[in-house]
Amino acid sequence: GLQGAPVIFDPATYYGHSEAEFGMSWCAGFTAAFYGAYHELIPKAPGFEERRQLYLLYHYLNHYNLFGYGYYGQCESILTRLV
Protein backbone atom coordinates (compact mmCIF):
# COMPACT_ATOMS: atom_id res chain seq x y z
CA GLY A 1 0.00 0.00 0.00
CA LEU A 2 0.84 3.65 0.04
CA GLN A 3 2.85 4.77 3.03
CA GLY A 4 1.09 7.48 5.00
CA ALA A 5 -2.14 7.24 2.95
CA PRO A 6 -5.43 7.37 4.86
CA VAL A 7 -7.15 4.03 5.42
CA ILE A 8 -10.70 3.14 6.35
CA PHE A 9 -11.15 -0.02 8.40
CA ASP A 10 -14.64 -1.26 9.24
CA PRO A 11 -14.46 -3.83 12.05
CA ALA A 12 -18.11 -4.75 11.50
CA THR A 13 -18.00 -5.84 7.87
CA TYR A 14 -20.81 -8.12 6.77
CA TYR A 15 -21.52 -10.25 3.75
CA GLY A 16 -25.18 -11.08 3.49
CA HIS A 17 -28.58 -9.94 2.35
CA SER A 18 -28.87 -6.19 1.78
CA GLU A 19 -31.93 -6.08 4.05
CA ALA A 20 -29.73 -6.86 7.05
CA GLU A 21 -28.55 -3.24 6.88
CA PHE A 22 -31.91 -2.19 8.23
CA GLY A 23 -31.31 -3.96 11.53
CA MET A 24 -29.34 -1.01 12.87
CA SER A 25 -31.27 1.68 11.01
CA TRP A 26 -33.17 2.60 14.18
CA CYS A 27 -30.10 4.40 15.53
CA ALA A 28 -29.14 6.15 12.27
CA GLY A 29 -32.03 8.61 11.90
CA PHE A 30 -32.62 8.01 8.19
CA THR A 31 -35.45 9.99 6.63
CA ALA A 32 -38.29 8.78 4.41
CA ALA A 33 -36.39 10.30 1.46
CA PHE A 34 -33.43 8.03 2.21
CA TYR A 35 -35.61 4.91 2.31
CA GLY A 36 -37.41 5.95 -0.88
CA ALA A 37 -34.13 6.40 -2.75
CA TYR A 38 -32.72 3.16 -1.33
CA HIS A 39 -35.73 1.15 -2.47
CA GLU A 40 -35.63 2.71 -5.92
CA LEU A 41 -32.22 1.07 -6.31
CA ILE A 42 -32.99 -2.10 -4.35
CA PRO A 43 -36.75 -2.78 -4.44
CA LYS A 44 -38.44 -4.39 -1.45
CA ALA A 45 -38.77 -8.14 -1.91
CA PRO A 46 -42.00 -9.86 -0.78
CA GLY A 47 -41.96 -10.31 3.00
CA PHE A 48 -39.55 -7.40 3.54
CA GLU A 49 -41.44 -5.87 6.47
CA GLU A 50 -41.53 -9.16 8.40
CA ARG A 51 -37.82 -9.81 7.80
CA ARG A 52 -37.02 -6.23 8.75
CA GLN A 53 -38.62 -6.86 12.13
CA LEU A 54 -36.35 -9.87 12.66
CA TYR A 55 -33.26 -7.86 11.74
CA LEU A 56 -34.32 -5.15 14.18
CA LEU A 57 -35.03 -7.70 16.89
CA TYR A 58 -31.57 -9.21 16.56
CA HIS A 59 -29.91 -5.87 17.33
CA TYR A 60 -32.38 -4.86 20.04
CA LEU A 61 -31.77 -8.20 21.79
CA ASN A 62 -28.04 -7.65 21.50
CA HIS A 63 -28.38 -4.18 23.02
CA TYR A 64 -30.63 -5.57 25.75
CA ASN A 65 -27.95 -8.14 26.55
CA LEU A 66 -25.14 -5.57 26.54
CA PHE A 67 -26.81 -2.51 28.05
CA GLY A 68 -29.80 -3.76 30.01
CA TYR A 69 -33.46 -3.18 30.54
CA GLY A 70 -33.72 0.02 28.50
CA TYR A 71 -34.14 -2.11 25.36
CA TYR A 72 -36.69 -4.54 26.80
CA GLY A 73 -39.72 -2.63 25.51
CA GLN A 74 -38.55 -2.66 21.90
CA CYS A 75 -37.80 -6.39 22.09
CA GLU A 76 -41.19 -7.14 23.61
CA SER A 77 -43.01 -5.00 21.07
CA ILE A 78 -41.39 -6.71 18.08
CA LEU A 79 -41.91 -10.18 19.53
CA THR A 80 -45.58 -9.40 20.14
CA ARG A 81 -46.03 -8.30 16.52
CA LEU A 82 -44.26 -11.37 15.16
CA VAL A 83 -46.05 -13.98 17.27
Work out the mean pLDDT of the chain and round it to a whole number: 90
CA dist., res. 54 & res. 57, Å (int): 5
50-64 tens-digit pLDDT: 999 999 999 999 999
Long-range contact set of residues 50-53: C-beta below 8 Å, sequence gap at least 24? 50/82, 51/19, 52/19, 52/22, 53/78, 53/81, 53/82
What pLDDT score does 1 carry? 57
Contact between 71 and 63 (Cβ < 8 Å): yes
